[in-house]
Amino acid sequence: MSANQTIAPKIVVVGAGAFGTALAAVAAAKANADVTLLSRREEVAAECRLTGRNEKALPGIALPARLAFSADAAALAGADIVLFAMPSQEHRSAAQTYGAAIGADAMIVTCAKGMEQSTGRLLTELLADELPGHRIGVLSGPGFAADIAKGLPTAMVVAAPDMAVATQLAEALSGPTFRLYPSTDRIGVQLGGALKNVLAIACGIVEGAGLGDSARAALISRGLAEMSRFIAARSGEADTVRGLSGLGDLVLTATSHQSRNLRFGIALGENGRADGSGGELVEGAFAASVAARVAQDLGIEMPVTEAVAAIIDGRLDVRTALEQLMSRPITQE
């Protein structure tokens, strides 16, 4: 993507799940849009082409007529903006699969919320490892795919190292009901998205175990403090945590039953153990252990995150976790 581009950029969204389909739909709703949704399975692309819907990902939602569908990596040729919208743990293999088909000038934006579990790498770092020379951005913030695709008002953040590029991305991807704010804090923006999922699981556990709304409010506030410490230790900006990608997304995910992370936590709180996610993607279940491990390496305290990781691993039960959290030494807020 060149710095002074005025014609509509060519956008390819890789990953035809709920979020990829929603982002492709809002981008394609604009006049002159050139947007392709790239699935890894031909049957998904074929169904979308035939019915104008991606029924499994976004049930009952009609997609814009201008949106193109493909399962051929060749669709990436000439793309100005490539959105990576597959799960965090799939980013490295997707970069390896599609990298050769992506042109050297394309800007790549991760839209996932997580860190690589095996290495603790941020997704922007991982993409820079696999796709050297590309400008790498991140899109995150409070927005459920179904809300975005239905045209309900949504605001999120897109971050790139250079504000001019972040602004270009925000302009290219925003629409009448989908507003993107540009930022240069890639670390803060993506860590907000990764860490709020763990805290949403914690809020779900509190709900499922019937511990009350006051406990949820305490968790949101203390969880935000954990996010701040982690972001600062990873050299992100302190202010970012108070914005859409931090507090905004934490509040949304910790309070809405649309959230898969919250629902997973509720089941944990009700049953006292992890019974799986029923096939749903629960990013926080991956992020909990890696965030706890990295926090320990960085020497920062993240008691809520550590408790969630231990509960998911079956090393701690909910009652003991609560006792431990409540009996920590009294400190200043």
Ligand X SMILES: O=C(CO)COP(=O)(O)O
Interacting span for ligand X (CB under 6 A) from 58-66, 141-149, 209-217, 229-237: 141-149
Binding string, 223-252, against ligand X, x = CB under 6 A? --------------------------x--x
Helix (H, G, I), strand (E, B) or coil at 264: helix
DSSP single-letter state for residue 122: B
Q: Collapse the DSSP code of 115 into the 3-class scheme (helix H, G, I; strand E, B; otherwise coil) and give the result.
A: strand
CA distance 207 to 42: 40
- Determine, following the binding rule CB under 6 A, whether residue 181 of this chain makes contact with ligand X: no
Cβ proximity to ligand NDP: between 51 and 93 the closer is 93
- Looking at beta carbons only, is 16 or 189 nearer to ligand NDP? 16
Phi, psi of 236 (to 5 degrees): -85, 175
Binding part of the chain for ligand X, among 30-38, 53-61, 140-148, 304-312 by CB under 6 A, reads: 140-148
Burial label for 332, CB within 10 Å (0-12, 13-18, 19+), is: exposed
Burial class (CB within 10 angstroms; exposed 0-12, middle 13-18, buried 19+) of 316: middle
Min dist. Cβ of residue 252 to ligand X (A): 5
Q: Which of 70, 110, 124, 259 binds ligand X (CB under 6 A)?
A: 259
Residue 30 annotated to the active site: no
Structure tokens at 249: 């997304």
Give the DSSP H/E element, type plus range, for residue 97. helix 91-98
| Closest separation in Å from C-beta 325 to ligand NDP | 26
Strands 135-140, 154-159: parallel, antiparallel or unpaired by DSSP? antiparallel
Q: Specify the residue, 69 or 286, whose C-beta has the smaller distance to ligand X.
A: 286
Q: Which of 10, 56, 150, 196 is catalytic?
A: 196
Q: Please answer whether residues 194 and 114 qualify as being in contact, where contact means their C-beta atoms are separated by less than 8 angstroms.
A: yes
Q: Answer yes or no: is 249 a known binding residue.
A: yes
Residues that bind ligand NDP (CB under 6 A): 14-20, 40-41, 57, 85-88, 90, 93-94, 111-114, 143-145, 281, 283
| Residue 106 binds which entry of ligand NDP, ligand X, none, CB below 5-8 Å type-dependent | none
Within the chain, strands assigned E span 10-14, 34-38, 68-70, 81-84, 107-110, 135-140, 154-159, 178-183
Cβ nearer to ligand NDP, comparing 157 with 318:
157
Binding site feature residues for sn-glycerol 3-phosphate: 113, 141, 196, 249, 259-261
Q: Which residues bind ligand X (CB under 6 A)?
A: 113, 142-144, 197, 200, 249, 252-253, 259-261, 283
Catalytic positions: 196
